[in-house]
Structure 1
Amino acid sequence: MVACQQQDEPHPIKEQIETPKVQNTAVDLTLMCQNIKKNMAEINDQRTTFALEQINQDLKVCLPLLNLEQQKALLSLSLKMYDNFLQVKRTPAQQIAFERYAFDMAQHPTIHQSHFEQLTARDQYLLKHQGQAYVEVVDAGNEQLSYRRSPEYLARIFAPYMPEAEKVFIENLAHQNIETAIQDKSLLIEPFEVARRALYWEDYIQQYPQSSYLSDAKLLLAQYRYFLFIGAPKSPVSEGYHDQYSVRVSSWEEIEKLSQRHDSELSKLAKKFIQFYHMSEEQRRQKIPASATAEQQLIHYLDLTRQNSSKDCFSDAICL
């Protein structure tokens, strides 16, 4: 009996020893989350990708403990954090070397190496570590390169811990913006993909009317509608707006498919688009107020919005 009692006695002592560890863990976690804003603000163009990765790991721990307003505050800080991290100061010669770097790399390895040696130390570091901590080098158009934070960053670091409406918005916009959709005033995606995205944002607006990203979803819908029926300055849907044969074949086929649906507002616009191209000029004048160009007539007839928003919805997982 004595032996049994002696074996049982240490258990309460063990529990007393373990309890402070749990408390210390909680204290450490609270302190880490309290300091995360300060740590994010301290990231600059002298820090390493390892420092970014450490903060991103801390964010994964802290974000589930916060409400949406607090999460979006950290999301805004993360934008500034990466902007600061990706800043590079270059001389004109270093700027030219940077812009030529990737374009010469495949065809002329020797020139590529000579350009690399002319780069700033920061450019050399970022190029060597691209792909780490969601840092990418992208073609910004007009034969210019730039760094960016991958759209997947918000989808993987923030979205999993946010309410469903915000989570779905971020994950889908990130997926859409992994590849560039528009560059140098030209659309780089096919009409079927433009239509798919327009239908998606139309559905999102109906499914998540309380989303904090509702206005951005409406902006995306308006932009993709415009791309579908009008196009972009250097890739218009129609050259002359005369009849069906003045419309790009791939665009007409996609819009015709849409017109056969009965489950969306987009299908109604597709029907009106086809009606427009079957009208004579006289019929257009009777049904549509006089406008300077046939393009303006079509925009008016479909009640499209030409987007002049200062927001960029094609670079990240949110509209910037």
Structure 2
Amino acid sequence: MPKTPLALMMVASLLFATSACQPPPAKPASDKLEAANNSDKPKPSAATQTPDETKTEPLVEAKTPKALTKALVALSETKLTNELICTKLNDTMQEIDNKSKFEDIHTIQRQLEVCLPTAGNSGILQWLAEYQALYGRFLSINQPVNEQSFYTLMNLAERGEKFPLAALKKVTPRIRYLLGLVESNADVNVLYLGKGDYTFHHDLKAMADLFIPYLPKDQSAFIQRLATDNQSVFWHDATIAIPFDQVLERAIFWQDYIQRYPNGYAIEDAKSLFAIYRYLLFFGSENTQWTDDELREFRDPAQQQAINQLGQSANSQLAQDAQGLIDFMALSASQRQKKYPAPSKNDNGDKLDKRQKAKYQLATALQIASPWQSDHKSDYKNCFTGIVCVDSSPS
């Protein structure tokens, strides 16, 4: 039976009363560049406000059933528009490349603020991966950048100094554009990679903060940690770019994460990260050594103290490893060879030097293999540049 005008008025009046009692919606967080640009601007009109700011205002301001009906129709149209935007969001993000402008990313950020609150977890994680990938494309530089002017400008940008006009004229327009973003305090910066090399980077914390409110604890803990750790370089030219105490702290974090979330988000990536930090903690790297060549003592007494404390901590894999290292360092050369016999030559037929022999014996004592001695494709993951681990397997 069709509803009478009186019935429609009663429904509209009820909706009007309900909407009037609702608290105002929370405004989405804006990024720092937009905040800086808009700090001195007047309040935007309804035509330029975000959907969250405008979608309920007509309902609250409606004074008659007719006005409320029109507001409800407009609200339905806005909802349909937002749903269409969210459906196409993956495609929109994939359109970003190294010819796009920062305003294009702003648009996607605003769309995410609309879409994230109602999306399912799998969709959010997919957007997260796409969002990280789009920044990689946006900041990439296809053309050769080995000119001296480029390195001069990148060095100045890293130190927060002004760019000389003469040097700017010698680089490509895209590099000038990205340097302008760095200078204007957008979430783009310059990252030193070591050996005089640089790259453009972005604020990983800002990226994580956009998604964290909509993720469960295990997922938010994972991406928050990567956002913190990967804001600077961890590894370059077989050199560990962070100090010993940070390697120790990261190893402890991933050990605890695995225990806390055994079935959590990206658990295999978490195990891989733990294996890497665990290995580097006790063996160092080719160009970073914590001990003398024979693994008798640490070069820094503070590192020895940290290992002693770790060995005395609550029972855990790292505590057992630390105590095993302490015991190993106290053994004489003959005791080591008797307990952990080492070959005289490596697989290539070359004679083992003192360090190689000591590391071979320690690996046997601690039962720790190099995390890079694997041919499994799943082990080729890069977890050191973003907030999502990405496949880096050889093609």
Post-superposition CA distance 1:164-209 (Å, at most 9, x none): 2111100112112223233332223222222111111111001111
The residue aligned with 1:302 is 366
| Contact 2:98 2:139 (C-alpha < 8 Å) held by counterparts | yes
Match status 1:80 vs 2:133: yes
Q: CA deviation at 1:316?
A: 1.6
Kindly indicate whether structure 1 or structure 2 has the higher relative contact order, using CA contacts under 8 Å at least 6 residues apart: 1
1:40/1:77 contact within 8 Å kept: yes
Query: SS at 1:145's partner residue?
Result: strand
| Contact 2:191 2:201 (C-alpha < 8 Å) held by counterparts | yes
Task: Using structure 2 for the length normalisation, give the TM-score.
Answer: 0.72
Q: Which amino acid aligns with 1:192?
A: D
- 1:111 deviates by 8.7
Q: Deviations over 1:69-88 (max 9, x none)?
A: 22222223223322221232
Q: How does 1:31-46 map to 2 (within 5 A)?
A: 31-46=84-99
The separation in 2 between residues aligned to 1:133 and 1:105, in whole angstroms, is 13
Query: How many angstroms apart in 1 are the aligned matches of 2:83 and 2:270?
Result: 35
Quote the Cα distance in structure 1 between the aligned partners of 2:145 and 2:87. Answer: 42
Q: Deviations over 1:56-114 (max 9, x none)?
A: 22112212322222222222322332222123233566x4421232336799x899432
1:286 to 2:342 alignment: no
Q: Secondary structure at the match of 2:382?
A: coil
- The separation in 2 between residues aligned to 1:221 and 1:289, in whole angstroms, is 28
Write the distance in 2 (CA, Å) between the matches of 1:285 and 1:183: 34
* Residues 159-174 of structure 1 aligned to structure 2 (within 5 Å): 159-174=212-227
Which residue does 1:311 correspond to in 2? Answer: 381
**CA gap 1:82/1:112 in 2 versus in 1, 3 angstroms:** same
The 5 Å alignment of 1:1-320 reads: 11-91=64-144, 95-103=147-155, 112-130=164-182, 134-244=187-297, 247-291=299-343, 292=352, 293-308=357-372, 309-320=379-390
Structure 1: stretches of 5+ with no match in the other structure: 1-7
CA displacement, residues 241-300 of structure 1 (integer Å, 9 cap, x when unaligned): 2523x5442321211111111242211110000000011122212222424411121122
How far apart, in 1, do the equivalents of 2:186 and 2:156 lie? 26
Q: 1:127 to 1:209 in 2, by over 3 A?
A: same
CA distance in 2, matches of 1:168, 1:189: 21
- Pairwise CA RMSD of aligned residues? 2.6
Report SS of the residue matched to 2:88.
Answer: helix
Secondary structure of the residue aligned to 1:75 is: helix
Query: Aligned AA for 2:309?
Result: K
Give the AA of the match of 1:126.
L
Task: Give the distance between the partners of 1:313 and 1:106, measured in 2 at CA.
Answer: 23
Q: Are 1:182 and 1:188, in contact at CA under 8 Å, matched by a contact in 2?
A: yes
Q: Any unmatched runs of 5+ in structure 2?
A: 1-9, 14-62, 344-351, 373-378, 391-395
Amino acid at match of 1:313: C
2:67 & 2:76 partners in 1: Cα distance? 15
